Structure 1
């Protein structure tokens, strides 16, 4: 461990020399320990789950102690968060100051190596699906020291779970319900993403639903929850497009559990992600496009069985896996680039399921019952 710390200090000094080329000799540097643990210098982004008030400590450190006080000024690195958003296809905003408290000026006293800083992150709301982060950086240092390359900044991504009600849908209230929409952004797509949360209350095909059932469909895209005994040895996730099937036999689903399901399509390749992890893919012939002109619910559900859906999102672009994982547990802004249709299924009462982007609302046949608030960060707890 001692050798690792020596190597770290040496690397930090070298980084500081590169960062401060105007100095001919620099033999010390200030850095954030948590941004570069041990001898690794690539841990600059970390996630924090915010439920209630959360505290996080950081260590502002010198490579070696000095005989004079060193003042370090901390602030927000707007360039860092902008670059991250561009690389990852995300849209994080800097957390407003009223939800964050920390000492902006830190003094490392003479003879000391480090000073601890405490961040207090207060619970906040995201009524329009906003996503927040804290891109903290060492802005300036007084004294004969520089800052240590990438270890001068760290960004905390703040994860706030989507908590919402969800309908218990049956064949009685949802069977055959559909909405037709004419939207140019959903026609002739060479790339797209469909994602949603789902739960089915039974696995047995004799009771739950029939072999060709499709609880959710978009035009020629039919998503199936293939049951036990329906045809084969399910249950598994399946998709059917004009007689072409994408089955995921490696991921059987369980009754009563929520799953995040996401299909992406680009460059003639369809990929299926379950809970943010890639599970299956299917290569199509060149030049295929898709049109999404209709949403339909519940074709072939069994008697007295129910299923539930939440956060159905249709995009006219192929989302990267990191983007899927980033937003699967929370709501997203209605004006997100590429978001073409968005059913939250969070009304909690009534029989109208609203669509947030273009008003493609669904009217159920009868009023369903509803789950109480579900925390989609851990919906199965």
Structure 2
């Protein structure tokens, strides 16, 4: 009888354990809802807005449940404030008219996740980078709570540049420049100058793409005295020059960024550092008073130079900042911009300063040979 009793007890315990294992995936205890993208270390991700954008938001359970779980999808602009402060960004919340009202997502019984697709129609951003600060709202159905730490995530919308660009080649002393009679008086300790550039000819030296009018030299050209001339040289603060390797190709778009961080002059190409040199701090500081483009005259400048998105900043941009913004507009209201010339007018000979500071550039009468339209730098 004892043997039978023990066997019965073992069978009962086994049945209990089996039932417990069978239901393990459907426990509510300790369960929570969270956004799958928020489960990693990133607090935001960038979505390319090319003719609109689709954001796929996967909502997950820590454990499956034997009932449907429904949760609200909310949008909380306030979470951008802290994110911008901590990351040096200036994202703005996507206007409410682009967002759905009363959105929910349902995870069916026995499933671990469900995906909510948010479609954003294309719209003009005017250089502003918008973001969707998404949060999980009220749990409408299901015995589960939402995660506080992983119940929110930021989706950044970046719209690739698709612009008109001028193709320039000087006649005589033609150049493009800001008003030479007006000094800006922009005092800087560090700076960044960046642009997209394409050259049709690199077999001549001293083809100057930029000449910053300042109390200390900042002169950027293709080629010095020694051939071959397919390299970029930056002469800064009286230094002999910082040179890149001789590996630039004709008829190829390059993103160029010249960064001075207070001690070193760094050249970036397509977001990657390719040259750097210790350069003395300018005596008396650096006072920037104007800007010239294609400035060495027709006897030296033989190329047709296409150029776009000229940006002059009053600080040293990081490699990440350069890479993250090469293919996209920047906010013209950014207070760190000394000037912003998109060069995307499509006609005429005036390049507007998008910052609104009135630092427009005027091109010489024969400088602009033609305009090219619908140029995409992310699809070179």
TM class by smaller structure: 0.7 to 0.9
Shift of 1:117: 1.0
Task: Supply the distance in 1 between the matched residues of 2:265 and 2:375 (Cα, whole angstroms).
Answer: 29
Deviations 1:168-204 (A, max 9, x none): 11121763553334223x13x1111211111111222
Q: Distance in 1 between matches of 2:321 and 2:168?
A: 29
Q: Does 2:73 align with 1:74?
A: yes
Aligned twin of 1:233: 228
> Could you give the per-residue CA deviations for residues 338-367 of structure 1, whole angstroms, max 9, x where no partner exists?
111122212211222222332233332215
TM-score w.r.t. the length of structure 2 is: 0.80
Give the equivalent residue in structure 1 for 2:5.
none
The aligned counterpart of 2:83 is: 84
Q: What SS does the aligned partner of 2:122 have?
A: coil
Residue number in structure 1 paired with 2:152: 153
Normalising by structure 1, we get a TM-score of: 0.80
Distance change in 2, residues 1:28/1:294 (3 Å): same
- In structure 2, what is the Cα distance between the partners aligned to 1:81 and 1:303? 47
Other-structure match for 2:184:
183
Q: Contact 2:71–2:105 (CA<8 Å) still a contact in 1?
A: yes
Structure 1, unaligned stretches of length 5 or more? Answer: 1-12, 14-24, 206-210
SS at match of 2:322: helix
Q: How far 1:327 sits from its partner (Å)? A: 2.4
Aligned with 2:30 (options 27, 30, 34): 27
Aligned residues: 342
Q: What is the match of residue 246 of structure 1?
A: 242
- Report 1:1-381 matches (<5 A): 27-36=30-39, 41-101=40-100, 104-127=103-126, 129-141=127-139, 143-148=142-147, 150-172=149-171, 175-179=174-178, 180=180, 181-184=182-185, 186-187=186-187, 189-205=188-204, 211-219=205-213, 220-226=217-223, 231-241=226-236, 242-249=238-245, 252-285=247-280, 289-297=285-293, 298-301=295-298, 302=300, 305-356=303-354, 357-367=356-366, 368-378=368-378, 380=380
- Separation in structure 1 between the aligned mates of residue 353 and residue 77 of structure 2, nearest angstrom: 34
Whether contact under 8 Å (1:100, 1:122) holds in the other structure is: no
Distance 1:103 1:35, change over 3 A: farther
CA distance in 2, matches of 1:306, 1:379: 21
> Separation in 2 of the partners of 1:221 and 1:287?
11
Unaligned runs of 5+ in 2: 1-26
